[in-house]
Chains A and B, each alone.
Chain A
Amino acid sequence: MLEIADVVQEGKSQKSFFFRHSIDSKPGQFIMVWLPSVDEKPMAVSYRSKNEFAFTSQAIGIFTNALDRLKKGDKLGIRGPYGNSFSLKNNSCVVAGGVGISSVSTLIDSLKNPLIIYGARSKENLIYMKRYEDKKMIIATDDGSFGRKGFTTDALDELLSTKKIKIVYTCGPEIMMKKIFEICRKHKVELEASLERYMACGFGICGKCMINDRICCIDGPIFNSKQLNQMPDFGNFARLKSGRKVTLKEYHSVH
């Protein structure tokens, strides 16, 4: 159990929870966060320095709303880091959707001059704006309340039509990532995407997070274009806690 050293309100319903502990994680890896008597869920490491790390959570379900009520000094069980990590290539573009930016934030910190395309529903859901004020960023909101009105996918399509980019990194709603996958294929640009599935163990034995023949928690959560191409479930299906395969829409209505 680790004590929460700090809670930072990042957006309307997004908070970062800081711990004064070092963690040996690479960009893209996740930790399992246990709130006793509530649940345990995977969370991306969203900040990492020598003696400190954090994860960022958006209050949307029972677990994340319970996290939202925690204060400095409360304790959480943390295990990990787990999963693979992003490659770190130059001349890159990072596309983030919503709170998905927390899964690529330590990647952004590690890359040399990445170009960031960041989308959210509205201005109040944009986070890390101060953190990345020095970065090259294209912001898109669905309602046009900040930056350009529209989707990250259109911004990426335009960018790749005019600029030579070596690799695109992405995390956000899977439907967005599926579109990004298609755009990258069209422009013949490499892609690495961070996927999410219901997880229990985090280390590859319970089999709950299977995406076709890949185990999301150990083979992923980062998958490249070649792998995504062999994963028909990507953008279409996910497995419920019971193991039954359902459409992503049904999956998101439950998990």
Chain B
Amino acid sequence: MLKTNLCSIQLKNPTILASGILGVTKESVDRIGKSGAGAVTLKSLCHEERAGNANPTMFSYDGTFLNAVGLPGQGIDSAMKDFGRLDNLSVPVIGSIYGYRIGQFGEVAKKMASLKPAMIEVDISCPHMDYGKPYYADPQLTAKVTKTVKQNTGKIPVSIKLSPNVYDIKEIAHAAEKSGADAITAINTATGMVIDINAKKPILANKIGGISGPALKPIAVRCVYEIYETVNIPIIGTGGVTYGKDAIEMVMAGATAVGIGTGIYYRGNEVFRKVCDEMIQWMKKNKVKNLGEIQGAAHK
């Protein structure tokens, strides 16, 4: 019932581990695969090793989760040795990449492509980068990055991960599609802050962080809805999906697949299996045979 075709990649279900949660090692990828995810996205890698921000890098309260991990990563060269191939794991793997300058996106994408991931996701949208102009906020820059990555990845499909921290996400998505993107991942975290009133200081060492978890969901649903009206390529709807009903909502907004990250914090690694079970239950109750029947339903 949940079988999903994402850019010709056959997924046993539409749930995908979002980039940034676990996904740091080969063993953790396998582990998430075994816990039921349809695909697993690696934590983003760039051309160099980065330790990331100082702790605290994460904080949660109520339905809100904030992080400012600052893109830590061992770097693509070290990861190539650490991971080896990515096409022989228990689950399809999406390699997430980024660079500081546009040329570096291409360089890292080429190396990632040599590991043969099922898909490459391009993180143009991490809100913590402090290197020049953000690529996510300008359709022309998004187009340049997309073209550069596509020139270096052969037949491997490429998804561009967008940020909600823009005036008009539609024009960015359109620029990515026009430049050859095979899919859109929407969305990355929205920027936010939480202050400890006793310490009189922002809790995160980086002060500003990215909001994820249930608080992000309405923003993500809105973005997916808008992007679906703008492009014809598939969308990986990501942001606050915690329960099966959230995933159904994303699909109705127009998503083909559904990213889950912070959901692990609320429901453990089993969140993938639980979300799938809940989706099936809802579909049976509402006599829906496959997700295609309800994809984009909210637009009709």
- Chain A residues close to B by CB (< 8 Å): 1, 32, 34, 36-37, 39-41, 75, 77, 200-201, 203-208, 210, 212-213, 215, 239-245
B103 located at the interface, meaning its Cβ lies under 8 Å from any Cβ of chain A in the complex: no
Q: What's the least CB distance linking A249 to chain B, in Å? A: 18
Q: What's the least CB distance linking A37 to chain B, in Å? A: 7
B150 located at the interface, meaning its Cβ lies under 8 Å from any Cβ of chain A in the complex: no
CA distance A205 to B58 in the complex (A): 10
Contact, CB under 8 Å: A244 / B78 = yes
B278 located at the interface, meaning its Cβ lies under 8 Å from any Cβ of chain A in the complex: no
Using an 8 Å CB-CB cutoff, how does the interface string of B265-282 with A read, 1 for contact, 0 for none? 100110000000000000
Contact, CB under 8 Å: B50 / A205 = no
**Given A41-B55, A208-B24, A213-B28: A242 touches B198 (CB 8 Å cut-off):** no
Q: What's the least CB distance linking A233 to chain B, in Å? A: 10
| Complex interface: chain A residues within 8 A of B21 (CB) | 205-207
> Dominant SS at the A interface?
loop
CA distance A200 to B21 in the complex (A): 12
Contact, CB under 8 Å: B74 / A244 = yes
| Complex interface: chain B residues within 8 A of A41 (CB) | 55
**Given A208-B72, A242-B72: A40 touches B56 (CB 8 Å cut-off):** yes
> Dominant SS at the B interface?
loop
Band of interface residues on B: 35 or more
CA distance A128 to B165 in the complex (A): 53
Chain B 49-68 residues near chain A, CB threshold 8 A: 49-52, 54-58
Interface centre among A39, A75, A208 (most CB of B within 10 A): A208
CA distance A161 to B100 in the complex (A): 60
B75 located at the interface, meaning its Cβ lies under 8 Å from any Cβ of chain A in the complex: yes
Using an 8 Å CB-CB cutoff, how does the interface string of B134-151 with A read, 1 for contact, 0 for none? 000000000000000000
| Complex interface: chain B residues within 8 A of A37 (CB) | 201, 205
| Complex interface: chain B residues within 8 A of A32 (CB) | 56
Contact, CB under 8 Å: B49 / A242 = yes
B31 nearest in chain A by CB position: A213
B197 nearest in chain A by CB position: A1
CA distance A244 to B269 in the complex (A): 23
